[in-house]
Structure 1
């Protein structure tokens, strides 16, 4: 039932090689729900994420250490005595006993090429994170850190997804709560829009920072959500943003997700410093996603 529902809500697009990571751990439900959406849409997806929750570790990167204890939610047995591991029934689900950035690095350089005849990923995604990554949270987020690494160090277009509705849950939770399904469907819709915009999917050294509002009240159906181009930092002293919605100053992501209504913020991030990318790069993203985007009331 879950897979059929997800497939019905995510339009078919050209399948890509996608590397997937997060900072909440490889067995976290939000991540697995999104993974299901990507597979259902026809993508060749490889998950490479931390063996346990590594939230708030930013861009930390260290070689993985030998794992002796069980992974998060007992998702791998104690005594594996390995720095990396794989799901016994699905080899495209992998854990790395280190930070999110390390997991993304191993995924791109070591794990995924085994499935893709040595080819690199065409897109990198992270999350959805359990909880938001807005404004001042951005520099400390491992979800952001892994996306920035993919974009800046490996030149792979990258999208970081986060959801305000919090509450960690294991991959095998049943029934799957609505928030996990909705966030997965919304993330799939954005991936679809980015791909339909054509290659190159994003400008160089850019990542998208996407934040979903709470799944509650009127916002419990993916079809009810709207998408707004935003910025990460306030920008009081920044150059003008791309002109859209009658302004040359984009709304900050925090104000978008806190607005009345079901608004998703999509910020064009600069992978060099995790702030807002300049107007010329915003303009490229705006053109690609124009049919998806709306203005705040």
Structure 2
């Protein structure tokens, strides 16, 4: 029988990622007591990460990047699902778990509360900054560039990137709003989503270890969208079960939606509707224009991973290529992630599906002109 030394066993454990311990804050816009965020938390903790939930005390969808802090020191009404009584402090922790916190503010405000109060004043990471801030998985997809104007999920992640903290926004197609106590099976969609999101984080931790100890370059984040998760065929899943969707390296534009003001002749009022043909949200300004659009990818049983940057005026920087390399081994089109065939110097039309219109490719020299002439207005998902 072969005998292994303690040093050898430790080496094996490290190489297998068994001692992962990233410092992670989990935020969202659906509220601190939803099934999705709690199952995500459980998956991260199970993999050894030092994870904290810090999320709004109530539903805050559609807030975008608005930073609104509580104007009162106590809650004027009960928190989500009556988990916090009226009159309780405007922020606090779960009495059963000190790693779970709420704050009465918009998602972006919660990000700042986590960084400036819990990290700096409460010292939850013993003097260190978090390695990563993640948001979601949101109840509803956040695909396409228009999400940056309205999605609280993306807005909270964007706020973290603005502070120099790597961030990932996760979103699910399923829009069911449930309390975390409703989860009762291992195949529950919330449990599946939590494990899928954790898989992305573990991939970045494993591949990016040693890259100046950062999971993502400064100014960059990821937008991850999952398809409709179902253990049995449904209309939303196109008649097939979907519990292990492969990942695809994507771009924000391509088949993306923006909003229109839809007028109801009978009621005389307006509501939003989606427009999938706008060149404003489907112009490929930066990166590899041959990448599939995330909106179309999640229509199948596939998960989309797109890179975004906070620097709108730097369309030819190489951070996206670096992140693509980190995703090799996770996404099915890893040749694209590795940088094969990248470039944005040619100006040509990029055909899209008939129902979604065509994407437009803008070369490096025409990037700013294209940006100024094709400003997007509107959004479809929160």
Structure-1 separation of matches of 2:54 and 2:249: 29
**Measured at CA, do residues 123 and 240 of structure 1 come closer, stay the same or move farther in structure 2, by a change above 3 Å?**
closer
- The SS at the match of 2:201 is helix
Residue in structure 2 matched with residue 3 of structure 1 by the alignment = none
Residue in structure 1 matched with residue 328 of structure 2 by the alignment = 290
Instruction: Return the offset for 1:167.
Output: 0.4
Contact 1:164–1:213 (CA<8 Å) still a contact in 2? Answer: yes
Give 1 or 2 for the bigger CA radius of gyration: 2
Structure-2 separation of matches of 1:49 and 1:147: 12
Q: C-alpha offsets along residues 44-82 of structure 1, whole Å, 9 cap, x if unaligned?
A: 1111110100001000102223313210001112221x2
1:44 to 40, 44, 50: 50
2:283 is aligned with 1:241:
no
Instruction: Return the offset for 1:28.
Output: 0.9
2:219 is aligned with 1:205:
yes
Structure-2 separation of matches of 1:119 and 1:174: 33
Structure 1: runs of 5 or more not aligned? 1-9, 243-247
Contact 1:13–1:195 (CA<8 Å) still a contact in 2? Answer: no
2:225 is aligned with 1:179:
no
Residue in structure 2 matched with residue 96 of structure 1 by the alignment = 103
Q: C-alpha offsets along residues 128-178 of structure 1, whole Å, 9 cap, x if unaligned?
A: 0011001133421001001001011x2110000000011000021142562
Normalising by structure 2, we get a TM-score of 0.67
Residue in structure 2 matched with residue 68 of structure 1 by the alignment = 76
Contact 1:158–1:207 (CA<8 Å) still a contact in 2? Answer: yes
Moved more, 230-239 or 61-70: 230-239
Contact 1:164–1:212 (CA<8 Å) still a contact in 2? Answer: yes
Residue in structure 1 matched with residue 375 of structure 2 by the alignment = none
Normalising by structure 1, we get a TM-score of 0.86
Contact 1:209–1:267 (CA<8 Å) still a contact in 2? Answer: yes
Residue in structure 1 matched with residue 156 of structure 2 by the alignment = 146
Structure 2: runs of 5 or more not aligned? 1-15, 234-239, 255-280, 335-382
Residue in structure 1 matched with residue 130 of structure 2 by the alignment = 121
Instruction: Return the offset for 1:118.
Output: 2.6
Structure-1 separation of matches of 2:115 and 2:242: 34
Structure-2 separation of matches of 1:57 and 1:129: 13
Instruction: Return the offset for 1:108.
Output: 1.4
